């Protein structure tokens, strides 16, 4: 057995196994790197870019970049957190996010990250897109206003549920989620509230009906502890998923 391989994360040594990405290795060693589209049960997606780090002066997505011996990685620095904050602001202004009236408030990873990274305003002008909700399904409501295009529902439905309920269409700022039915309505698909895809949204797009505000805002997961702490507790507890069930 060869000697342990290590890289430096913000000056601290992190051991890793071959094939592990920077994010995976950091997480295993108890270091949190912010992320939204990355999920332990899926291959790296690399779209949200919240997990960007600097390696040898270059920006890379830590969820997709394989760890290498001797790398010097900068993550929890004012520069990287400043850029992450701006990416969060971009996600907030491209959709319609009204946290005070959102059922996911307190359980939402976008909101939790914004608190954790001390995002105080949206900074940029809002786009105010017109995205009608879909309430056609008996058990699940789709509120597209909050979509951040992490594609976790797309991936979970395809790879775990074997149903392909969701896909993305159009492109650029007009990109949006579509449902696998000619009517475009979730009610006309075989989607079920027990699907993995129905329970994986990190924000408030996919909501279970008749469960609204069962637990008051203020007592929810990220109301109690910041996401950087919750995420690391999840690693210790289950080595697995960190989505919050409401």
Partner 1 sequence: MEAAVSTADSVLGSVLEPILARHRRDPVRLLQILREVQETMGHISPAALTAIARALQLPRARVEGVAGFYSFLYLEPVGQYRVLFSDNATDRLLGNLELMATMCQKLWVEPGKVSEDGLVSIDTTSCTGMCDQGPALLVNGWPITRLTHQRVNEICELIRARKPLAQWPREYFAVADHLRRKDLLLNSVLEPGAALRAAIARGAEGWLAEVQKSNLRGRGGAGFTTGVKWEACRNAPGTDRVIVCNADEGEPGTFKDRVLLTSYADHVFEGMTLAAYAVGARQGFLYLRGEYRYLLEPLEGVLARRRADGLLGANVCQAGFDFDIEIHLGAGAYVCGEESALIESLEGKRGTPRIRPPFPVVKGYLGRPTVVNNVETLAKTVLVALEGGENFSAYGTAQSTGTKLLSISGDCAFPGIYEYPFGVSIAQVLEDCGATDAQAVQVGGASGICVAAYEFQRRIAYEDVPTAGAFMVFDSSRDLFEVARNFVHFFAHESCGFCTPCRVGTSLLKNFMDKLADGHGAKYDLADIEWINRLLKNASHCGLGTSAANPVIDTLVKFRPAYERRLQSLEFEPAFDLDKSLACARRMTGRDDPQAHLSSEFSSEESPR
> Using CB under 8 A as the criterion, which residues of the chain lie in contact with partner 1 when the complex forms?
44, 46-50, 52, 59, 61, 64, 66, 83, 86-87, 90-91, 93-94, 124-125, 127, 148-149, 158, 164-175, 178-182
Q: Which is nearer to partner 1, 175 or 215 (CB)?
A: 175
Q: Which is nearer to partner 1, 90 or 193 (CB)?
A: 90
SS3 166: strand
Q: What's the closest the beta carbon of residue 116 comes to partner 1, in angstroms?
A: 17
Q: Which is nearer to partner 1, 103 or 116 (CB)?
A: 116
Q: What's the closest the beta carbon of residue 149 comes to partner 1, in angstroms?
A: 7
- How many residues in the chain? 246
Number of neighbours of residue 84 by Cβ within 10 angstroms:
24
Q: Which is nearer to partner 1, 38 or 103 (CB)?
A: 38
Q: Are 218 and 100 in contact (CB under 8 A)?
A: no
Q: What's the closest the beta carbon of residue 191 comes to partner 1, in angstroms?
A: 11
Q: Which is nearer to partner 1, 136 or 246 (CB)?
A: 136
Residue 128 dihedral angles phi and psi, to the nearest 5°: 45, 60
Q: Are 220 and 226 in contact (CB under 8 A)?
A: no
Q: What's the closest the beta carbon of residue 82 comes to partner 1, in angstroms?
A: 9
Q: Which is nearer to partner 1, 10 or 83 (CB)?
A: 83
Q: What angle, 0 to 180 degrees and rounded to 10, lies between the N-to-C axes of helices 109-116 and 78-94?
A: 140
| Four-residue CA torsion sign, 148, 201, 65, 34 | positive
| Four-residue CA torsion sign, 152, 154, 160, 161 | positive
Q: What's the closest the beta carbon of residue 87 comes to partner 1, in angstroms?
A: 5
How far apart are alpha carbons 150 and 86 in whole angstroms?
A: 17
Collect all residues with Cβ–Cβ distance below 8 Å to 216 and sequence separation of at least 6.
none
Q: What's the closest the beta carbon of residue 46 comes to partner 1, in angstroms?
A: 5
């Amino acid at each position: 057995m060869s000697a342990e391989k290590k890289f430096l994360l913000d000056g601290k040594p992190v051991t890793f196994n071959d094939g592990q990405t920077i994010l995976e290795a950091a997480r295993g060693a108890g270091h949190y790197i912010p992320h939204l589209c990355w999920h332990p049960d899926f291959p790296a997606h690399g779209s949200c870019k919240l997990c960007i780090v600097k390696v040898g002066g270059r920006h890379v997505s830590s969820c997709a970049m394989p760890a290498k011996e001797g790398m010097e990685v900068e993550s929890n620095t004012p520069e990287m957190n400043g850029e992450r904050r701006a990416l969060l602001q971009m996600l907030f202004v491209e959709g319609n996010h009204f946290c005070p009236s959102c059922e996911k408030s307190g359980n939402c990873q976008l909101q939790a990250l914004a608190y954790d990274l001390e995002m105080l305003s949206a900074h940029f002008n809002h786009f105010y897109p017109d995205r009608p909700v879909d309430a056609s399904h008996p058990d699940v409501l789709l509120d597209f206003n909050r979509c951040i295009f992490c594609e976790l529902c797309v991936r979970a439905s395809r790879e775990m549920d074997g149903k392909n309920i969701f896909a993305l269409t159009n492109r650029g700022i007009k990109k949006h989620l579509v449902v696998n039915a000619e009517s475009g309505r979730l009610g006309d698909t075989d989607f079920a509230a027990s699907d993995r895809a129905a329970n994986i949204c990190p924000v408030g797009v996919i909501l279970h009906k008749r469960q609204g505000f069962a637990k008051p805002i203020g007592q929810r997961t990220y109301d109690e502890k910041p996401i950087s702490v919750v995420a690391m507790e999840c690693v210790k507890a289950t080595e697995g998923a960190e989505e919050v069930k409401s």
